């Protein structure tokens, strides 16, 4: 039995019992509530007092429904289906560490009742998902927010994975931060490299040792190509792999069967035209050539780059070099 609590707390405890132990399929009788009050909180009160407290909760706006089988909490901030979606989002977010994912999922589960938590079986498989091991991610987000708000430059180490599957420093960066972008389940920092003089997109989970400096940022309007600000819709569709080379007009022929994938990657802004061959379409987009090289190779059996010629030649060279390795 729990330690004794004053009966004055009964109202709060009854509300907590409804939150944690009731829903439409699991109504509580007054006997159920009395038993939980005594076992969990050491509070012993009469049934009339329970009924009175339930009425007070209803008068206060708590949506408690009563029927012959008992009473239950009818409204929650999130429906169970919505919580499932949020939990799936946490699980699939590769930029959140396994430990932080578990903490977030536990807090989301606390917004429902015990029956919901027992139904979310996959929360225990969080370690099986591909997760970052960079514990500094959320601290970095706070620093980036502060730097953007104050208009200050950032200073940090940028890392890449080695053969030991650990992050290793590859460069030291001084940047003017403008925005954080969630793309393909990864967070990127969109910033102007003060050293290279161009826009960069750095994965947040690859950043360590970040500090906010006293130096003012380079205004976005002074960055070539961004004089009129950031077009987020165009940015997302034109840079599928967050490469930083200048965007160009790119035309390609594709199998009609992958139009869904084309729209998924490049959005509805992509120009898709029918051809004489009913099984093919011609597509025109504006994108990073480096990103398109990678994308076209991924869909090599379904895509043929038409222009620019330089990109077509690069892909041809990559394929020829790759073929030599398998001879």
Q: Would you kindly state where each structural domain of the chain is located, as residue ranges?
A: 7-73, 80-128, 137-228, 248-324
User: Is 1.10.150 the CATH number for 137-228?
Assistant: no
Count of beta carbons in the 10 Å neighbourhood of residue 293: 19
pLDDT, residue 1, reads 44
Please report, for residues 89, 156, 254, 282, the alpha-carbon distance to residue 278 in angstroms, rounded to integers and kept in the order given.
38, 52, 11, 11
pLDDT, residue 116, reads 73
Determine if the peptide bond prior to 126 is cis (ω within 30°).
no
User: Quick one: CATH architecture of 7-73?
Assistant: Orthogonal Bundle (1.10)
Please tell me the class of the 248-324 domain. Answer: alpha beta
Flag residues of the chain having pLDDT under 70.
1-8, 92, 94-95, 115, 117-135, 185, 233-234, 236-240
Residues 6+ apart with CB under 8 A from 245: 288, 289, 290
Helices and strands in the chain, H and E counts: 11, 11
Q: Are 194 and 171 in contact (CB under 8 A)?
A: no
Residues 6+ apart with CB under 8 A from 37: 10, 13, 14, 17, 43, 44, 45, 50
Q: What is the pTM of this model?
A: 0.59
* 7-73 and 248-324 share one fold: no
User: Among candidates 165, 169, 175, 139, which has minimal Cα distance to 157?
Assistant: 169
pLDDT tens profile 36-57: 998 988 888 888 889 888 888 8
pLDDT tens profile 80-115: 777 777 777 777 676 677 777 777 877 887 777 776
Please report, for residues 38, 44, 52, 98, the alpha-carbon distance to residue 48 in angstroms, rounded to integers and kept in the order given.
15, 12, 6, 47
Buried b (16+ CB within 10 A) or exposed e, 47-63: eebbeebbeebeeeebe
Q: Are 288 and 311 in contact (CB under 8 A)?
A: no
């Amino acid at each position: 039995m729990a330690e004794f609590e004053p009966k004055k707390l009964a109202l709060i405890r009854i509300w907590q019992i409804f939150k944690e132990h009731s829903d439409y399929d699991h109504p509580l009788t007054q006997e159920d509530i009395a038993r939980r009050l005594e076992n969990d909180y050491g509070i012993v009160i009469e049934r009339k007092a329970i009924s009175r407290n339930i009425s007070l909760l209803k008068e206060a706006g708590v949506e408690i429904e009563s029927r012959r089988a008992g009473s239950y909490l009818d409204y929650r901030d999130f429906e169970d289906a919505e919580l499932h979606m949020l939990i799936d989002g946490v699980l699939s977010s590769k930029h959140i560490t396994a430990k932080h994912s578990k903490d977030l999922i536990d807090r989301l589960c606390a917004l429902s009742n015990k029956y919901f938590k027992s139904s979310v079986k996959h929360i225990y498989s969080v370690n099986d998902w591909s997760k970052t091991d960079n514990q500094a991610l959320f601290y970095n987000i706070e620093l980036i927010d502060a730097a953007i708000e104050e208009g200050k430059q950032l200073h940090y180490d940028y890392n890449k994975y080695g053969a030991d599957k650990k992050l290793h420093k590859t460069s030291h960066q001084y940047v003017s931060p403008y925005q954080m972008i969630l793309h393909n389940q990864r967070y990127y920092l969109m910033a102007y490299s003060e050293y290279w003089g161009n826009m960069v997109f750095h994965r947040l989970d690859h950043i360590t040792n970040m500090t906010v400096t006293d130096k003012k940022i380079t205004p976005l309007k002074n960055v070539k190509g961004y004089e009129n600000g950031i077009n987020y819709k165009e940015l997302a569709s034109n840079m599928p792999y967050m490469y930083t080379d200048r965007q160009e007009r790119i035309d390609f022929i594709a199998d009609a069967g992958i139009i869904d994938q084309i729209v998924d990657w490049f959005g509805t802004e992509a120009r898709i035209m029918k051809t004489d061959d009913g099984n093919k379409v011609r597509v025109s987009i504006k994108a990073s050539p480096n990103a398109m090289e990678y994308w076209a190779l991924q869909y090599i059996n379904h895509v043929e780059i038409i222009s620019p010629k330089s990109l077509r030649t690069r892909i041809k060279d990559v394929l020829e070099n790759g073929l030599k390795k398998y001879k």
